[in-house]
Amino acid sequence: MSRHHRLYDHAEAPIGGAAPPPQVDPAQESLSQALKAGFNVLRLIIVVLLVAYFLSGWFQVNPGEQGLIVRLGKLLINQDSASKYAGTPVFGEGWHASLPDPFDEKIRISGRNYKPTIYTFCFPLEEKDLRKELSDLNMAEIAPFVDKLKPGVHGAMLSGDRNLSHGLFAIEYRIDNAADFVQNVGETPEVFDRLLRRLAENAIVRTVAGMPVERVIRTQTDAVLGDFTLAVKRRLSAELAQLETGVTVVNVEAKTVEPGKVRESFLAVSNAKSERKEKESQAEQEANKILSKAAGPRQKYEALLAAIEAYGAAQATGAGEARLEEQRLEIDRQLEQAEGEVAIRLRQAGSRANEIRERVQQEYRLFVDYRDTYRKYPELTLVRLWVRMRDAILASENNEVFFVPEAGEIEIITNRDEQRRIDRDIRRYQERYKPGT
């Protein structure tokens, strides 16, 4: 057995007999430091990722949008008392805190208007017509002239009077309640379009089936009946509200036309109705003009006519004298307030009545004077009466005086003096239409 002696350098000689320190490998030391630095960077990255992950729960609702937060399958309630949506599942414009995915699902619903077009009730359209806006389409120009309409190809509507018509409809809507929309419909307008089309078709069919074809084809022309699309809008809105979709129908626009083969007949009927309405309007204007001239402004002659009609109705129903007297007094009251020719005639009648009353009173006083005088001086009174009568006869414009000479044969010319008659008529007219009467 050989012994190997370990040699020590003087610099590495142990002091006091202690063991020498272990030698360190530089490569191993570098690897250890690199691993420590890598683990520190990894820990920092993990912390940053965790912070970013939790901060990702914040979401922004843009102007005009409504936000929703779905947590574990349920909509989160907005607890912000300053928000107009407080107490509801809707979050308004701005930033909102929530848990990151997959704990919370964030949904944004746009508040803009959507406007899908319903082609169900229309004939096939060419590609260039499909690209046009509904307002730019001229249905009369593109309607096909076919002898028979093919079901499934030529869409049509059946009106209440059993006539056919074609129609294109644009349904403009917006989502006002995002919570109801998401809960009962879906998360995108594309999902809702399928439901909207079915409901719109149902509303159109039910509405058109209850009215004549003229109201369907001639939209926005009858101020009394109104555009039939308003009825479609009301029916569709009611159905959407019943389903709690959260959708509001803004407007229903329609382009309708009669089938090409019968268009001329429809136009003839429409023109006749338009002409009738024009004549009725002209007649009404003329009636208003005549009535205004007769009794003054519209409110006055309408009140007068109403009083006269009420009196006629009371007579027809056999009303009592007290009721008739009340109606007559009402007519008199309206006549006193009337203007125009009625007021002129009433003033003239009142003036003539005053003249007649004064003349009768004067004649009565004269009669009383003659009666008292006759009792005292009968012969003198007779002479005065005779003189008065002679003056009246000779001074009257209606009488002509002829002086007959003493001769055996007398010739009388019977032609009247025309100038005297003209002067008499002029004076009578002037007295009748005096200023202020």
pLDDT digits (tens, 9 = 90+) for 286-325: 888 888 888 888 888 888 888 888 888 888 888 888 888 8
Q: Is 278 exposed, middle or buried (0-12, 13-18, 19+ CB in 10 A)?
A: exposed
Taking only Cα atoms into account, the Rg of the chain, rounded to an integer number of angstroms, comes to 53
Token pair of 84, please? 């107009």
- pLDDT at position 207 is 93
Q: How many CB atoms lie within 10 A of CB 9?
A: 6
pLDDT digits (tens, 9 = 90+) for 414-434: 666 677 778 878 887 777 766
CA separation, residue 177 to residues 67, 78, 166, 240, 301 (Å): 10, 14, 34, 12, 53
- pLDDT at position 1 is 43
Tally the C-alpha atoms within 13 A of residue 82's C-alpha that lie toward its C-beta: 2
pTM of the model: 0.53
Contacts of 122 (CB under 8 A, 6+ apart): 155, 166, 167, 168
Locate the domains of the chain by residue range. Answer: 33-107, 117-271, 341-397+419-432
Residue ranges of the chain whose pLDDT lies below 70? 1-24, 50-57, 218-226, 397, 400-404, 407, 410-417, 433-437
**Nearest CA-CA partner of 156 in 209, 194, 197, 195:** 209
- pLDDT at position 224 is 44
Question: Contact, 197 vs 291, CB < 8 A?
Answer: no
Tell the CATH topology of 117-271: Tetrahydropterin Synthase; Chain A (3.30.479)
Ramachandran class of 170: left when φ > 0, alpha when ψ lies in -120 to 50, beta otherwise: beta
Q: How many CB atoms lie within 10 A of CB 80?
A: 13
**Nearest CA-CA partner of 274 in 218, 313, 235, 318:** 218
Token pair of 330, please? 């009402």
In sign, the C-alpha dihedral spanning 366, 368, 369, 371 is positive
Ramachandran class of 417: left when φ > 0, alpha when ψ lies in -120 to 50, beta otherwise: beta
Q: How many CB atoms lie within 10 A of CB 342?
A: 20
- pLDDT at position 80 is 81
